[in-house]
Structure 1
């Protein structure tokens, strides 16, 4: 539904432009997305009648500042709105300093990313954080500055331009729920400025905080229990969901919305194409709830996305919402918000299920969890990963576990024991993160290679286990690359880098063992990436083969969903992707033993003669398909069979 601007807004737009083409472009986009903007704002800020005019002034200013090459990218993306859904989209996630020292260093290593096939680069938090402890950079002190040790905003813009020339989209974190205690807004609030005190949730005594606490969970029970902190200078209890130095923002204040709309456009004009909306689920507070996933969050996101669509349509949003599947789909748009909120979201179950099946050698729980996972809108995409910067929380639902004859609590306990290496026969080397005695929750830190058994195999000089550990890691990446959406490769996994077991030598990291899987890039190992006799070479070449196969396979466009095919073998996962070129059937052996699969699921999909897209080999399964340990196949109809059809 198009939105015709009111006469006052129309006159404001006309007065701001001398060039008729720029005027027409802005006005057409405003007419297209104005209703989405208006509806989002009115749902949250019905008593702020001047907000639209104030916002429009910010948008027009940003439109004037937007460079010619970025406006050209806007036009390209409008003609190809599925650009982020295509099968050639490969993501890479890293910390700029740990990858290459500085932003200039990252720019020097762009050829490495090009060689790997990367089209999307997520640089972990690099906006200026508070000094000292800063939650890995998520305590932002200034959204308009870069960490001084990395460079400055000009370096960021230069890097974005270099990436753009290589067809790589830059993704940055935008922390929405909170700012650092040292942020200018918080400093002014602490000094007593009434305007900025309204940017936060401040309470004179414990009456309301204690009422809220009745239904609030604890995110970091070990080192940040509770959700409120006393601030002596502000003489208030401050809402601090994550850490005492991270002040939650009051999104009920329209001025906060206006600040972030301006920040998004400012960063978009420096070349940021993908915003990872950090801690988005926590933005809205409502007494008597867990203050997560409230409906206002989706209205706010819709309005912010409309702002970006009008000024910088090359930009997409990715929701960092680690919530239950039934809640997750709202971040991609359901009901009135369908297709109007985030374009991307993390498939937060897939990673957990991969590691669960590798430990149990059984895919039935994974099969169940994926089969009941609700489908996303066809215009959106999942972000999937084997590992990420964060810990692994064992998000195994009791209902899913019960459906396959497991105890949810028992299986979660098994996984924590297995991946911390205490379960008999475990191949893993991980660390327990945030043990909560009240709930029994134990999350796990560790690099992909160490969790997959490489660290243990090297310690024991066991050649067979070394081979199997790499096969496990390649199997996990095959599942992620073959699922559709955007596979996100975590820095170092392509070289099978191990745990950084000396992380505690750095005082600022000592209290957070997630730094065990945030090593510095080992460029000596990277130099051996084509040496098939080395562990890094075997991993890199295997991953490169998977990436090349994915890019050559149209079936992996994100508009298509992966669907579970019931497997006759509990060790073998089957996922199908229907496509006009014929169905693709992915076959994955989650066991270190050879498995055999009755070929009926293949025959039913016309795969009596098939081509494995990974190896290029032709497969004629007959009655039974033999699967080597940790085998992975992406099977499509053979070319001659397609011709006959």
Structure 2
């Protein structure tokens, strides 16, 4: 891409030779990723697009603040910054965490004390008024919700976070905008340029043809994928809700707009972009219009543009899709390691809850074994819970290999976590029941789903102990798996379901708000005081203390660097999940007991990997593996590495 005449022309746009060298060297490095990807999507329109794109990139480069330029250089020297064991994420709604962006800035001591290095603030760019899909119906990408503050407040918060080594993560909704967005308003007014930003059809012929193969995301309150709009005079593609208009990424102007938006927000201090609904952005008749090849080409081009101007920036793909499709969001083949630096490991989260309910890890083993290896330069986002519902993304093939019926097991999990299954410890709510497919997703906080709500109501100390152990087991798995563990706000305090969501009109139709409570700062202070007094005794303090211990051990364990994959080690006991990590400093084996029973695990399976002695990094204990068995207490986790010290 970087021809001599182009380089000379671009150099003329700089007053400083060092800046010119920096930009041109990055353009030489990433230019082919940019131009080749765009040519594959836009063909002959690419040359003109690149000319306009370079203008946008040059403007953003010149506008980039000095401290962010320094961060760019630091990240280029440490490209594995997202993979380090000390990297831990925290996910929160700004208003529910601290009221405003300034309020978040006043709580940075709390985040730093947890060891957070990555703060994802849920949608905070200005959405449409009223119903807005939790903020994912964006009306203005260059403004903050007025109740949260201003863009200057966002920049100030980003600076404050950066000063403590915490990266700001923001949602970037790529598939759609709010009907009230300027682009959509101009399209409704008849502006041909902006009508081409969307998919608008004069009659039902094309929508009906597409609907033949399109799934429904929200069948309860947003059935179908198209909405008639009187002002636009046509059927508008609306995958998620009638007020969210899908964008036409086949139009290069849409690509250019989003490069400009990304670089603008990057210059405001955003370091990681969560690419929301990325799987949906390319439409193709006769398919589900998800995971199309153009999605990866466009993401690679977006990433290349960001790397040239702001290489401190990383992408996280929000693609909740099957493993065979998911790996493409980190890069396969020509895209290897060139798409997103991070993707959600949704399957891991699903299997955590599946194994807790069934007290069996065979399906967990099969699901992990089905995952192809990821690029070593990328990482997983791993989590116990998130802001969304739990959809039982369990493939029939994985289930069959584990001796299960896929539909039957999914039905069991929905029954179990909605509390309908006899003996269930869970308190969850059914979300989006689809009678045609039998799909029933589940809402609920981690603590309520893990049994703490039910146990506290009964007052049974044994049930409370089990619930606390379950929660710590779940966190141990995500902290030990390898990736960026994402702690959802309030989970560190074992916060329960918040049924008051029904009293808020805009929240009442969507029971996912049951696990989106307001941060309980009084509870946080009580836990801190209890821990300072000595041994914590309340369930909440026990969860908090246990989690903080897990976080400390993780930071001190180089074996957990995310460039290393966790591989299944076949377990002789179905209640126990065994994972193996081959690090240059030595092998690690993790053992997780997903049952309330003590398990006597045959030692041979560990001895064959670790030798005669192993140290558990979580407890500090040394195990003699020349004995017949190793005892695993209920819901116990072990992080074992080789030890030369005999018992």
TM-score between both structures, scaled by the size of structure 1: 0.98
1:631 aligns with 2:629: no
5+ unaligned residues in a row in structure 2: which ranges? 531-535
Please state how far the C-alpha of 1:4 moved relative to its aligned partner. Answer: 2.3
Q: Given that residues 445 and 514 in structure 1 are in contact (C-alpha distance below 8 angstroms), is that contact kept between their aligned partners in structure 2?
A: yes
Q: Secondary structure at the match of 2:248?
A: coil
Show the counterpart of 2:574: 570
- What's the CA shift for 1:5? 3.4
Map of 2:85 onto structure 1: 87
The 8 Å contact of residues 607 and 636 in structure 1, kept in 2 or not, is answered as no
Structure 1 partner of 2:225: 227
Give the alignment partner of residue 357 of structure 2, picking from 332, 356, 359: 359
Gaps of 5+ in 1: none
Change (3 A) 1:587 1:248: same
How far the C-alpha of 1:607 sits from its partner, in A, is 4.0
* Runs of 4+ residues deviating >6 angstroms: none
Q: Deviations over 1:2-51 (max 9, x none)?
A: x42362x3244122101010011001000110010001110111121211
> In structure 1, what is the Cα distance between the partners aligned to 2:466 and 2:567?
27
For residue 426 of structure 2, the aligned residue among 411, 425, 428 is 428
Is the 2:622–2:645 contact (alpha carbons within 8 Å) kept by the matching residues of 1? no
CA distance in 1, matches of 2:20, 2:384: 46
Residue 284 of structure 1 contacts residue 294 of structure 1 at CA under 8 Å; is this kept in 2? yes
CA RMSD of aligned residues (A): 0.9
Q: Which residue of 2 aligns with 1:534?
A: 538
Match of 2:387 in 1: 389
Aligned to 2:20: 23
Does residue 34 of the first structure (1) align with residue 31 of the second (2)?
yes
- Correspondence list, 1:195-594, <5 A: 195-530=193-528, 531=530, 532-594=536-598
> CA–CA distance in 1 between the matches of 2:551 and 2:411?
34
1:569 deviates by 0.6
For the residue of structure 1 that corresponds to 2:436, the secondary structure is: coil
User: For 1:285, what is the secondary structure of its paired residue?
Assistant: coil
**Structure 2: how far apart are the matches of 1:101 and 1:84?**
28
Distance 1:75 1:139 in 2: 34
Distance 2:523 2:48 in 1: 57
1:613 aligns with 2:617: yes
Match of 2:533?
Answer: none
The answer (yes or no) to whether the contact 2:613–2:644 under 8 Å persists in 1 is: no
Deviation at 1:640, TM superposition (A): 4.7
1:126 deviates by 0.4
**Aligned-partner Cα distance in 2 for 1:548–1:463:** 28
Query: Is 2:111 the counterpart of 1:107?
Result: no
| Offset of residue 638 of structure 1 | 1.8
Q: 1:207 & 1:607 partners in 2: Cα distance?
A: 67
Q: Given the superposition, is the C-alpha separation of residues 246 and 6 from structure 1 closer, same or farther in structure 2, using an over 3 Å criterion? A: farther
1:174 and 2:179 equivalent? no
Q: C-alpha distance in 2, partners of 1:38/1:640?
A: 57
Listed one character per residue, the Cα deviations across residues 359-395 of structure 1 (whole Å, up to 9, x for unaligned) are 0000111011111111101010000000000000001
Q: Hey, what does 1:46 align to over in structure 2? A: 43
Name the SS for the 2:270 alignment partner.
coil
Give the C-alpha shift of residue 463 in structure 1: 1.3
Q: Is the 8 A contact 1:607 1:635 kept in 2?
A: no
- For these two proteins, the number of residue pairs brought into alignment is 638
Distance 1:177 1:207 in 2: 23
- CA apart distance, 1:639: 5.6
> In the alignment, what sits opposite 1:75?
73
Aligned residues of 1:528 and 1:534 also touching (Cα < 8 A):
no
| 3-state secondary structure, aligned to 1:636 | strand
Distance in 2 (alpha carbons) for counterparts of 1:105 and 1:428: 34
Deviation at 1:535, TM superposition (A): 2.0
Q: CA-to-partner distance for each residue in 1:87-106, whole Å, 9 max, x for gaps? A: 11100001000000000111
Q: Deviations over 1:198-223 (max 9, x none)?
A: 00000010010000000000000000
> Which residue number corresponds to residue 161 of structure 1?
159
Preserved CA contact (<8 Å) 1:5 1:31: no
Q: 1:10 maps to what in 2?
A: 7
Distance in 2 separating the partners of 1:603 and 1:417: 39
Could you tell me which residue of structure 1 aligns to residue 60 of structure 2? Answer: 62
